[in-house]
Amino acid sequence: MSLSAQSGAFTSTFHFRCGRQHVLDARFLLSALVLLAASEPSNGQGSQVRTSASVKPVTVLLDDTKTYQTIDNFSASDAWACQFVGQWPAAKKEAIADLLFSTENGSNGRPKGIGLSMWRFNIGAGSTQQGEASGIKDEWHRAESFMLPDGRYDWTRQAGQVWFMQAAKQRGVKQFLGFLNSPPVQYTVTGRAFAADGKTNIAPTQYEAFAKFMADVVQGVQRTTGILFDYISPINEPQWDWSDPKQEGSPFRNQEIAGVTKALNAALEAQKLPTKILITEAGKINYLLATEDKPERGEQISAFFSVASPTYVGNLPRMAPVVAAHSYFTTSPYSEAVALRQQLAAKVATVPKLAFWQSEYCILGDNGGEINGNKRDLTIEPALYLARVIHNDLATANAAAWQWWLAVSPYDYKDGLIYVDKTKEDGNYQTSKMLWALGNYSRFIRPGAVRIDARLTPDPNPDPNPDNQLLVSAYKNAGGKQLVTVVVNSATTATDLQLKLGKKLGTVRTYTTSATTDLQPGPVLKADQLVRLAPRSITTVVNEIR
């Protein structure tokens, strides 16, 4: 709801987020209405200056002397639709690429896209070449392989995905990651890209061949496109059995992960490639900390980064000092999600120089009744849920990177940033509010930014229900000249905000995603002016630091 719309709804009783009521006498109410009428109109913008003194603002106390993680990137993956959409008519795929990667603004100052700073490229196992014999019924879940049956390579394959990767580079993306769901079918036990009976789908005798394939792909892609994969992720969600032929995948035990990682490290070194290895891409955060229901597949921080562990690989030259997990099945209820991420941050902190990446997420399952992952929903509701997940991963788990699953989806799930018709040659596309909610973070918090301390006063969150909470996190971008504060207002009421930092703040610009806006820029404000946060919105506040 815009401020102009709200002005007509003023009464003598004001309701605050904390549940208190302040009854105003007629004289004070009249003054409030006059001041409100004189305030700058919203022009449809989701946040703006509030000049009325009738509402005591919530203050964000910022302290850039207290710092946390350095942000590496925000990302999404090209699986699986990009293999086809990358071959659509130029105008449409260029427009989709702009939405994902552009950091430019339109003539009205509104961002053209969400400015992802890394792109995840799915290195396929070859189920596409197998066709129906692959056992994967949905053609859109199959993936091509660069490798031919005789071991030679065809670098014209995965053309649609390569197009999106090059489009990302053209729009300024500087980080790229190649990930695999399965070893190439030539090396699997089943001869297919999915496993059987929960058994790992590659024999140890094939580790070196598998590793050489990955190094060859890194080198081949660089030679043919000029793009070097900064990271390669050899194994995805090793805790799941992957015996259901819905997509490429294989389980791995910790000992097997260590074996593949050592072989890959040797292959990258042999080809003098600087690419770093990312593990573990755990199916959910719990497996980084505990064994739970997956013997030999849990406690992965200790398994791979404890010097005393028999599967220790943290000292390998090509190992990224990162442990990765997916936020699936750990986001609700909110209080438990917070507690788990506090445990994770504490555990990661015990390993010197180790960082945590949240490397895959979309809204799955019923989430304890908070939101259901079934059915496509382009509205603000899943966007607010997503923003709370991102906030919790960044501000509680200290995630240095945050990565989404399907950048482009043809499905009837809450799994896409952009949705497309399930047609190979051409079709329609539409954005979701989840795209823009991620953009409230990815477009403004750039690689090298450092999260700083941000505290609300007075505490506006006495209600544990996340739908009634105000969540805030702040980041100082590389160079220290720009402050980015992201505020998630899940309540149905507007809130006024004021930022306070020990250093002098310069001008303010807001960008709001709400039911009616997508990263809509507000007017340029002075540092001491109040910002109004729209109901049910995500707002990014950008300040220059003098």
The C-alpha atoms of residue 375 and residue 358 are separated, in whole angstroms, by: 24
Q: How many CB atoms lie within 10 A of CB 384?
A: 25
Phi and psi of 6, rounded to 5°? -70, -30
Q: What is the rounded radius of gyration, in angstroms, for the C-alpha atoms of the chain? A: 24
C-alpha distances (whole Å) from 15 to each of 20, 76, 257 are 6, 40, 55
Q: Residue for token digits 């079918």?
A: 185
Name 178's Cβ contacts closer than 8 Å, sequence gap at least 6: 120, 121, 122, 123, 214, 217, 218, 221, 229, 231, 232, 233
Cβ density class 272-301: b for 16+ within 10 Å, e for less: ebebbbbbbbbbbbbbbbeeeebebbbbbb
Query: Counting Cβ atoms within 10 Å, is residue 164 exposed (0-12), middle (13-18) or buried (19+)?
Result: buried
The pLDDT of residue 462: 64
Q: How many CB atoms lie within 10 A of CB 155?
A: 14
* Domain parsing of the chain, residue ranges: 3-67+451-545, 72-444
The closest alpha carbon to 533, from 58, 177, 215, 31, belongs to: 58
The pLDDT of residue 18: 35
β-bridge partners, 488: 471, 538
Q: How many CB atoms lie within 10 A of CB 113?
A: 24
SS3 state at 498: strand
The C-alpha atoms of residue 414 and residue 431 are separated, in whole angstroms, by: 12
The pLDDT of residue 45: 44
Q: Which CATH class is domain 72-444?
A: alpha beta
The C-alpha atoms of residue 398 and residue 146 are separated, in whole angstroms, by: 36
Name 462's Cβ contacts closer than 8 Å, sequence gap at least 6: 18, 19
Hey, what are 453's tokens?
A: 């301390």
Q: How many CB atoms lie within 10 A of CB 206?
A: 18
Q: Residue for token digits 């079934």?
A: 374
Q: Where are the alpha helices (DSSP H) in 226-325?
A: 254-270, 286-289, 300-305
Hey, what are 115's tokens?
A: 């400015």
The closest alpha carbon to 75, from 310, 270, 358, belongs to: 358
The pLDDT of residue 17: 33
The C-alpha atoms of residue 226 and residue 234 are separated, in whole angstroms, by: 21
SS3 state at 357: strand
Hey, what are 447's tokens?
A: 């690689």
Name 55's Cβ contacts closer than 8 Å, sequence gap at least 6: 14, 16, 496
CB 159 within 8 A of CB 218: no
CB 155 within 8 A of CB 213: no
Task: Going from the first residue of the chain to its last (546 residues), give the mean pLDDT of each consecutive group of 10, the final group possibly shorter.
Answer: 33 32 37 36 43 67 97 98 98 98 95 99 98 98 97 98 98 98 98 98 98 98 98 98 97 98 98 98 98 96 98 98 98 95 98 98 95 98 98 98 99 98 98 99 98 89 74 95 96 93 91 98 92 97 92
The C-alpha atoms of residue 399 and residue 272 are separated, in whole angstroms, by: 30
Look at strands 520-521 and 482-489 and give their pairing. unpaired
In CATH, the architecture of 3-67+451-545 is Sandwich (2.60)
Q: Give, for 531, the enclosing helix (H) or strand (E).
A: strand 531-533
Question: Torsion-angle region of residue 226: left (phi > 0), alpha (psi -120 to 50) or beta?
Answer: left
β-bridge partners, 355: 322
Hey, what are 256's tokens?
A: 């097997």
Hey, what are 436's tokens?
A: 């823009």
For residue 379, the one-letter residue type is: T
SS3 state at 426: coil
The pLDDT of residue 546: 84
Hey, what are 63's tokens?
A: 């302290």
Hey, what are 292's tokens?
A: 């739970």
Name 537's Cβ contacts closer than 8 Å, sequence gap at least 6: 46, 47, 380, 488, 489, 512, 513, 514, 515, 517
Hey, what are 518's tokens?
A: 């997508």
The whole model's pTM is what? 0.90
The C-alpha atoms of residue 335 and residue 466 are separated, in whole angstroms, by: 9
The C-alpha atoms of residue 494 and residue 4 are separated, in whole angstroms, by: 12
CB 46 within 8 A of CB 537: yes
The pLDDT of residue 174: 98
The C-alpha atoms of residue 109 and residue 106 are separated, in whole angstroms, by: 5
The C-alpha atoms of residue 394 and residue 282 are separated, in whole angstroms, by: 18
Q: How many CB atoms lie within 10 A of CB 226?
A: 9
Q: Give, for 519, the enclosing helix (H) or strand (E).
A: none
The pLDDT of residue 42: 42
The pLDDT of residue 56: 67
CB 524 within 8 A of CB 518: no
The C-alpha atoms of residue 470 and residue 462 are separated, in whole angstroms, by: 10
